[in-house]
Amino acid sequence: MNQAEAKAAQSAVLILDDERDMCEFVADVGSDLGFKTHWCDNFEDFACRYSIDLQGIFLDLAMPGMDGVEIIRFLGDNHSEAPLVLMSGYDSDVIDAARRLAETRGLKVAGVLHKPFMLAELSAIYKILAEVRRSPRPSAVERPKDIYRPDAQALSNALDEGHVVPYFQAKFCASTRQVKGAEVLARWIDPERGLIGPDRFIPMAEQDGLIERLTDTVIRKSLAQCRLWRRLGFAPRVALNLSPLLLRWLDLPDALLDMAREYEVPPEQIMLEITETALVGDFSASLDILTRLRMRRFGLSVDDFGTGYSSLKQLQQGPFTELKVDQSFIAKALTEEGARAIVESSIALGHRLGLKVVAEGIETEEQLELVRSLGCEEVQGYLLGRPCAAEGFTWPQPLPHQ
């Protein structure tokens, strides 16, 4: 796209529908409201016309030879910031599923239009476009390309220089609200750029062969902190996140046990959190390592439960001690029946399997009350405590004799 075209695209709305008259219909309303409108009836044209500066995208979910899901994936991969309007003749369940999918891919859904278009749809298009015009233009918003994307060399230097450190987020008893433990969350504190969150460096560390070094650093620093806390008379229980890749490393159980001994932290005070997605794939190899970790008395937690499609058999066979209900379900449990059902059944399933259940991402009293009433033992979330540096973390009571 040349500069003039890029400029023209800035206030443009792009419409994709294999029915030409639908495209023209939406395009007419858009033009009425002063938008530049482009439409296409196939994905190839759509992909060529697509630009990050678009102000709105109208998308037909049912296209011959291609379903809307693939287009949603394309938009997500391209970090589309344009409000998305889904158009479909499908029933509301299908459209709702597409909307949720788009949202989980980071897209903003501005509205849904049901086909065939009637008068109601016409006024809905006016309303949506008027809203779109009021919202900030994508070009004024921080662009993905403007976000600092560190590379492996920068991370390697940061590890050398001690810039990757553990933060601690408290886990609370759901009924008494007493601190029961803390989850360690890695942070990269860059002297110039400030705090960099793990979503921006863990996947890269996994991809570029730095995850073992990073994990070693984070674990050593957190266990050293635990030793200090223990010497001060506290009884810290910590949870460490383990990348699924490490479950392929046969020496992991002994390496962790050696570290626990070195820093004088009993393994039973250490919970290892493993995302549910790690259980999919070569489960027997993971089961070997998980079993040996359990034999060394580490606690084992299934993290992000509900997102990874592990089978019930894997969950039942794995020697887990804790299950963490994923925060995406907690966030919607009070507004979406489906999410609430997942929260309820995950808690019940965890208990049937003899696991302690933790709900993460608790941001409101109502969410806390819901999971507490469902029997969830522990909670974690911004309502009760955000992740913070070790200096900002307070344990409840010193041990009587230590």
**Which positions touch ligand C2E (CB under 6 A)?**
169, 185-186, 197-199, 202, 215, 218, 241-243, 273, 303-304, 327, 360-363, 380-382, 387
Q: Compare residues 35 and 168 and give the one whose CB is closer to Ca ion.
A: 168
Query: Rounded distance, CA 352 to CA 346, Å?
Result: 10
3-state secondary structure of 369: helix
Name the closest residue to ligand C2E (Cβ).
381
DSSP type of residue 116: S
Name the binder of 382 from ligand C2E, Ca ion, none, CB < 5-8 A by kind. Answer: ligand C2E
Distances (CA, A) of 307 to 19, 92, 109, 269, 331: 36, 23, 22, 27, 14
Residues in the interface with Ca ion (CB under 5 A) total: 4
In whole angstroms, how close is the CB of 267 to Ca ion at the nearest point? 18
Asked if 304 interacts with Ca ion (CB under 5 A), we say yes
- Closer of 55 and 367 to Ca ion (Cβ): 367
Q: Give percent helix, percent strand, percent coil of the chain, each to the nearest 5.
A: 45, 20, 30
Could you please report the per-residue DSSP string of 24-43? HHHHHHHHHTT-EEEEESSH
Contact 265, 296 (CB under 8 A): no
Q: How far is the CB of 324 from Ca ion (least distance, A)?
A: 5
- Residue in the structure block whose two tokens are 């969150």: 197
Nearest approach in angstroms of CB 135 to Ca ion is 31
Least distance from C-beta 70 to Ca ion, angstroms?
Answer: 28
Under rule CB under 5 A, residue 273 binds Ca ion: yes
Smallest gap, in angstroms, from Cβ of residue 305 to Ca ion? Answer: 8
Query: Tokens representing 132?
Result: 């779109």
Of 186 and 210, nearer to ligand C2E (C-beta) is 186
With beta carbons less than 8 A apart as the criterion, state whether 395 and 170 touch: no
* Least distance between Ca ion and beta carbon 323 (Å): 11
Give least dist CB 258 to ligand C2E, A: 18
Assess contact for 72 and 102: CB atoms under 8 A: yes
Which of Ca ion, ligand C2E, none interacts with 88 (beta carbon under 5 to 8 A by kind)?
A: none
What is the rounded CA–CA span in Å between residue 40 and residue 36? 14
For CA atoms 103, 107, 110, 113, give the dihedral sign: negative
Minimum separation from the CB atom of position 183 to Ca ion (A): 6
What gap in Å lies between CA 152 and CA 158, rounded to an integer?
A: 10
Is 377 a binder of Ca ion (CB under 5 A)? no
Longest dimension (CA), the chain: 80
The interface with Ca ion within residues 159-218 (CB under 5 A) comprises none
Q: Would you state the structure tokens that stand for residue 75, as one six-digit string?
A: 């938009």
Residue 198, contacted partner among Ca ion, ligand C2E, none, CB below 5-8 A by kind? ligand C2E
Residues contacting residue 262 through CB under 8 Å, at least 6 positions apart: 223
Q: Which does 218 bind (CB under 5 to 8 A by kind): Ca ion, ligand C2E, none?
A: ligand C2E
In this structure, are residues 202 and 211 in contact, taking their beta carbons and an 8 Å threshold? yes
Angle ∠(67,70,73) on CA atoms, nearest 5: 150
Measured from the CB atom, the residue of 52 and 384 that comes closer to ligand C2E is 384
Name the residue with the smallest CB distance to Ca ion. Answer: 273
CB closer to Ca ion out of 273 and 378? 273
Taking the least distance from each CB to ligand C2E, the nearer of 68 and 166 is 166
For ligand C2E, the closer CB: 95 or 274: 274
Q: Does 276 bind Ca ion (CB under 5 A)?
A: no
The residue (of 40 and 252) whose beta carbon lies closer to Ca ion is 252
Question: Residue 81 or 326: which CB sits closer to Ca ion?
Answer: 326
- 303 touching Ca ion, by CB under 5 A: yes
Applying CB under 5 A, among 217, 225, 241, 380 the residue interacting with Ca ion is 241
* CB of residue 199 to Ca ion, shortest distance in Å: 12
Helix (H) or strand (E) holding 205: helix 202-207
**∠ CA 87-90-93, rounded to 5°:** 105
Applying CB under 5 A, the residues found at the interface with Ca ion are 241, 273, 303-304
